[in-house]
Amino acid sequence: MEVARAAKKIPAKAATAYFRRMTMKYRHATELLKKGAFGRVILIRICYHTWTEISPDSPIAWRTDRSLAGGGVLADMGSHMFDVMIGLFGLPAKVFAKVRTLTFPYKTEDSAAMVMEYENGCLVTASFNWNSKTWSHEFEIIGTEAKLRWHPFDGDKAVWIAGKEIKELDLPNHPNVHYPLIEDFVSAILEDKQPAVPMDEAVKTNLLLDAIFRSSESGKEIDISRTIP
């Protein structure tokens, strides 16, 4: 939040490297939402399960210490998946979470599960694990009329289901997934416009992550809407 405030005080462009907002899959989902193709969105389902064993002498051992990394699996991949959710739907109003370290001797979480709720009643279920060898990486939007599934989340395909009709969609990523974000930032400088993912959007993700940790520590649901500056 302090970085975002500081960025506004200087005559320079500032952006966040949440590159997934620049993918074809993200743009496709945005268009479907604008058209109302889902009907009423009633559930968003998120999961990331993988095996991430990091030794204490590894160059990336800092990722296992919350005081250095800001979190474990939630900071590593949760932040990116939450950014996509927030970009498409905004910040949820409430969250109840359980954050645990179950398998590894890390100074941060290797497991987390949560339920979130939007002001309109739409629910979100999310689970993140660094400690499962049964890999899965999914993002699903479920509506009254149709659903969209990204599995894998970072893959080139999506599945669209409307009634009994199932379509597999080809939505390829750029060969360099970071290129579109860099191109957008350069354009923002040259054309004096706002970058696609400004710092304020990163603040929203951090507010959600903070609320998740506070919910787990307190054992209570957190009203995120009361924490928005």
pLDDT digits (tens, 9 = 90+) for 101-133: 999 999 999 999 999 999 999 999 999 999 999
Task: Read off the pLDDT band of 30 (50, 70, 90).
Answer: very high
Cis amide leading into 175 (omega within 30): no
- Between CA 198 and CA 202, with CA 199 as vertex, the angle to 5 degrees is 105
Provide the whole-model pTM: 0.94
Q: Percent helix, strand and coil across the chain, each rounded to 5?
A: 35, 30, 35
pLDDT exceeds 80 at position 4: no
Kind plus residue range of the DSSP H or E element containing 70: none
Each domain of the chain, given as residue ranges in start order, spans: 2-218
Per-residue pLDDT at 3: 76
Could you tell me which CATH number the domain at 2-218 has?
Answer: 3.30.360.10
pLDDT in tens, 189-204: 999 999 999 999 999 9
